[in-house]
Chain A
Amino acid sequence: MLIFEQFLNGLQYGMTLFLMAAGLTLVFGVMGLINLAHGSLYMIGAFACAAVAQATGSFWLGVGASLAAAAAAGALIELAVIRRLYHRDHLDQVLATFALILIASEGTRWVFGSFPLYLSLPPSLSGTVSLGGLVYPSFRLAVIGLGLAIAVFLFWLMRGTRLGIRIRAGEADREMIGALGVDIRSLYTVVFALGAGLAGLAGALVGAVQSVQVGMGEPVLILAFVVIVIGGIGSIGGALAGALLVGMTDTLGRALLPAALATIMPQASATAVAASLASMLVYILMAAVLVWRPTGLFGVRG
């Protein structure tokens, strides 16, 4: 039963990472842009949700606000900064978006102060659900559900809508679809805002069970990059697979390594070694995947 629960936890953590990685891989894949500031959009979503939920008393209004605020911030950033970077190399993108992190973090601190904000789940999500003998938080089930819903939404968006067809066409050949009369500039703004909105939504939901504070986006950002690189950049399916793989590896590593190591060494050192190893595990996974398949699991061979 414990193993099953940990398995579910891994799934849930993977979905949490997917919420963050989906927007990142969309932007990465469509525009070829490395956006380190994706974590800042996640933070903006969480802060917007906390502020609105505090003012109105409604978590769901806060979630709406997080989508809107992050998408608006994304559109603004795209218009002011990002659109000048598409034709530049990755280095310039890294530096510019690194600069955006500094501005967003300190700007947020200037507006909201230095202390973490209050944000909690609505009553409908804060209970537990019984799954055949296993008591499981309903929130975590909701995250799994939302992750799946967003995956389906993105597949539909990319495969079944005009917007998706244009995006994929733009991915394949920018000049061509420009020549066909599609306004590629506004298309990119829309895609970037969509990616930002997804990050903001993730920030609001995950922020409700974590600490809403300045810098909260950074640890998740690195993991989100790990996820999309393992999956293969630009692939929604890859991001999903990568997220689940990372989520499982991390959770099961933390849960099972101490006991596993205790069979070959004394208990006291096993606990400490296992903890160190567990924190390195996702990076070992990533290096192993890339050495085996240099463009990720679902990446285009090139």
Chain B
Amino acid sequence: MSRAGTVNAALLAVLIGGAIAAHLAGELFVVTLATKAAIFALAGVGLNFALGYGGLISFGHAAFFGLGGYVTGILASHAMSGEPLTTLPYTMNGTNEMLAIWPMAMLVCGLAALAIGALSLRTSGVYFIMVTLAFAQMIYWFAVGWPRYGGEDGLSFYVRNVFPGVNSMQPLTWFAICTGLLLLALVFTATVMRARFGLALQAARRNPQRTVAVGIRPFGIRLTAFVLSAMITGLAGSLYADLNRFVSPAMLNWHMSGEIMVFVILGGVGRLTGPVAGAMLFVAMEHLLGGVSEYWPALLGLVLLGIVLFAPGGIVGILTGGRRRV
């Protein structure tokens, strides 16, 4: 196994082993924290897909995280009230089946990303960063002002949606579901990046002119990557909604976009398990520093600053000792 492979395996082992150990020790809340880390990691894996491999710095991924959450919340609340979602063109009911909700959340995010990406990819560099932020802010303000599903107050659905055959309210089971999806997303990312499409995407990031010269049009490849990236982050949003049994515009806020970006950069941009390391460290710090001081966000800031200044490859960069691949 290569050094990077060892690090990947070790990081996942820490996440999964930690959750199981906490479960055995009866520390249910630590299992919940590990679940939160797994979900954030999944959101980060989604962003990393576009940002790390494709060089598409999206500052608007909260849009997809929040949309995934809202699809989940809306379907679940309709399932609870029994009121159909729409009756035109045909009757569509809500559902509380995760296996139905996930594809729906991913579909909605994919379509949104198709529209946002098609427009945003006309720009590049800083302009791309800011135009993705603009689209996310539009959706955020729409959600704040739209009363049907709670507006700023958000939408509660009290009971976690169901997964066939298991009790999703049980913390370790729920952790297993989320981590399972995280592993799937990691395998998917690794496979795609080694395939023709992934190689073309990375080539387009490193040297756009040459990519064009060999007859590949970067636009189509980037748009596809952006859509896939949004779908993964949207799935994470769906899980986050289920973790809290609640969605609100806060999931769509630019702070959320910033946090997802932090997971990726903290862990290591363009590294397969970078977002896993970043999300784990972030969740752990948020939890532990809170006990140190009332002004703990400043301590978090200092740690982030230290990593970005002195360890530019992120955590995975430190662990593998290799140069950053971006």
Contacts and interface: CB of A to CB of B under 8 A. Distances in A.
Contacts of B146: 276
A283 B262 contact: no
B132 to A, nearest CB: 10
Interface in A205-250: 222, 225-226, 229, 233
Given A95-B265, A96-B309, A109 B122 contact: no
Contact of B261 (A28, A95, A99, A299): A95
A296 interface: yes
Contacts of B138: 280, 283-284, 287
A191 to B, nearest CB: 18
Most buried by A among B59, B126, B145: B126
User: How large, as a class, is the contact surface on chain A?
Assistant: 35 or more
Interface stretch (B6-14, B81-89, B300-308): B300-308
B interface: dominant SS:
helix
Contacts, number: 128
A109 B122 CA distance: 42
Given A34-B126, A225-B130, A290-B122, A107 B135 contact: no
Interface in B92-149: 119-120, 122-127, 129-131, 133-135, 137-138, 141-142, 144-147
A172 interface: no
Given A276-B141, A276-B142, A283-B141, A92 B126 contact: no
Contacts of A34: 126, 129
Contacts of B298: 102-103, 105-107, 110
B295 A106 contact: yes
B226 to A, nearest CB: 15
A96 B308 contact: yes
A109 B297 CA distance: 11
Contact of A291 (B122, B129, B262, B312): B122
Given A99-B302, A225-B130, A287-B135, A91 B295 contact: no
Contacts of A283: 134-135, 137-138, 141
17 contacts: A34-B126, A91-B51, A95-B261, A103-B302, A109-B295, A226-B134, A229-B130, A229-B131, A276-B141, A276-B145, A279-B141, A280-B138, A283-B135, A286-B130, A287-B138, A290-B120, A291-B119
Interface of A: 28, 34, 81, 84, 88-92, 94-96, 98-103, 105-107, 109-110, 222, 225-226, 229, 233, 272, 275-276, 279-280, 283-284, 286-287, 290-291, 294-296, 299
Interface of B: 51, 57, 59, 119-120, 122-127, 129-131, 133-135, 137-138, 141-142, 144-147, 254, 258, 261-262, 265-266, 269, 295-298, 300-302, 304-305, 308-309, 312, 326
